[in-house]
Amino acid sequence: MQFGEAVDHHLSTIAARDLDAFLATVHDDVSLIAPNGRLLAGRDEVAAFHRDWFGDPDWSWTLEPLRRTEAGGTGIAVHGVTYSDLDAEGRPYSMTYVLTLVFARVDGAWLLLHDQNTLT
């Protein structure tokens, strides 16, 4: 699978809220920085976060591709994100952020190594 196809597949697993398919695209040593600055490290923490997030039926997002680049065994995809959800009281909110995904090529497969969410 080419890098761009791997990114698209990874993002489609999120849109489908398919945890098993998502985890198949993730490196064991993955890290994630949430928009609030919280750091998640390792497959178990990232899986637990996504299990909860995928279980929430209220969120949606729109992605705007900004940049994709590949160098050797590393690939980076940057997207602008408009995110909408409901807070704990059921009130709608939205935020915009930049999503940076860093993939590493491991044994011929592109796996997510780092996921950075930066509020704009």
Within 10 Å of residue 92's Cβ, how many Cβ atoms? 9
Report, at the CATH architecture level, how domain 3-119 is classified. Roll (3.10)
C-beta of residue 99 within 8 angstroms of C-beta of residue 117: yes
Q: What is the pTM of this model?
A: 0.94
Digitized pLDDT (tens) for each residue of the chain, 120 residues in all = 899 999 999 999 999 999 999 999 999 999 999 999 999 999 999 999 999 999 999 999 999 999 999 999 999 999 999 999 999 899 999 999 999 999 999 999 999 999 999 999
Residue spans of the domains in the chain: they are 3-119
